[in-house]
Structure 1
């Protein structure tokens, strides 16, 4: 396996789990009451990694990466269910008053987020890979074209992701208008100004790892 692909797989699995846990917190943007759920930071890295994989190792490999990304997510859900079901230690209850209640308060309400995440994850990341690959055309893309494709694919797919995730995860819990607009705004802006550079950097790092280990994938057209 190319070293760049192997490294991407490791990072991707970690980010799928982390994105779900971070999503419980809403972070203020400081602009008109707008906010984002904190999982956005890990999720944008999923976009970067899947686009990097599509660029270097093909659309089919990137699609499989998205599907197999469910595996660490499923394991994390199962482990969280087990931990919540197990009784807390008496020493914890005595030595850290309120810690167990806080843990259960956060992670006990985590399930709606967990249920919403996979739907938004699957739709948006498969869409990102598809748009990114379609924009490539028939020739090898240079750095500017790579960054432009990454920006367009990420902005479109992440706007759709925000609508799906925020609606399914938080509708009825609290007014979601500010969160929804903040989420779409933040993801589109980051997709345009940050994601292209991260994708270009990810492709460069993966190619360097492949060359260093003699496992470079063939150039795709």
Structure 2
């Protein structure tokens, strides 16, 4: 890891292109920051219980996986930098949504698609609160995830695949529990009883963090290493 992170930093200082793995994961990261806000408006039932979860968690867990992968291969500083730059697509999405809501709808839409405009405005008119709540939870939880992930490696035992999976699971579970409390409270408090959603959100994120995230991080690290090694890609293509 240290060799990869050092090589990445040296390349950046010499003005060389960033590693392909870092480039690809950064692109995906930007898309997930915006998509998480849109998906969050739907609360999905956690069958067979009556607990609920906001659907943005699926995109947000990918943000956790990507930042952990970047921290593992390219260093904690690079991962933190990606988190801070993630505010840019968030800000652009809020600005564009505000503009689109302010623009008048076409007569064809109003006449040909009854109810579509009202549905769009009902959902996205409240989008500002969900998205405005997101950056607070986003910043706190992802920086916390990177910090825990990096500190656990500094404590030893982080070099093996099992160590990587364990660090990813612990860091994700703790940071996502914090994220759930912040996001659900800021986004939905006062609109309905958030108890079921909050409990479901914490359970879902912690469970997915322990069950799914370790394998996704392992896959992410291997995928980034493959992307960063032209010889491996050429061999696979051949």
**For residue 200 of structure 1, what is the aligned residue in structure 2?**
218
Deviations 1:49-108 (A, max 9, x none): 000000000000000000000000100000000000000000011110110110000000
Greater C-alpha radius of gyration: 2
The Cα of 1:32 is off from its aligned counterpart by 3.4
- Equivalent residue in structure 2 for 1:103, among 112, 117, 120: 120
- Equivalent residue in structure 2 for 1:152, among 142, 151, 170: 170
Please tell me whether residue 172 in structure 1 is matched to residue 172 in structure 2. no
Q: Does the CA contact (< 8 Å) of 1:132 and 1:153 recur in 2?
A: yes
- The Cα RMSD (Å) is 1.2
TM-score (norm 2): 0.88
Q: Does the CA contact (< 8 Å) of 1:3 and 1:213 recur in 2?
A: no
CA distance in 1 between counterparts of 2:208 and 2:155 reads 28
The Cα of 1:199 is off from its aligned counterpart by 0.2
**For residue 11 of structure 1, what is the aligned residue in structure 2?**
28
Q: Which runs of 5+ in 2 are unaligned?
A: 1-17, 233-238
**For residue 78 of structure 1, what is the aligned residue in structure 2?**
95
The Cα of 1:213 is off from its aligned counterpart by 7.0
Runs of 4+ in 1 over 6 A off after TM superposition: none
TM-score (norm 1): 0.95
1:1-221 paired onto structure 2 within 5 Å: 1-137=18-154, 141-212=159-230
**SS in structure 2 of the partner of residue 45 of structure 1:** helix
Aligned length: 214
Q: Which runs of 5+ in 1 are unaligned?
A: 215-221
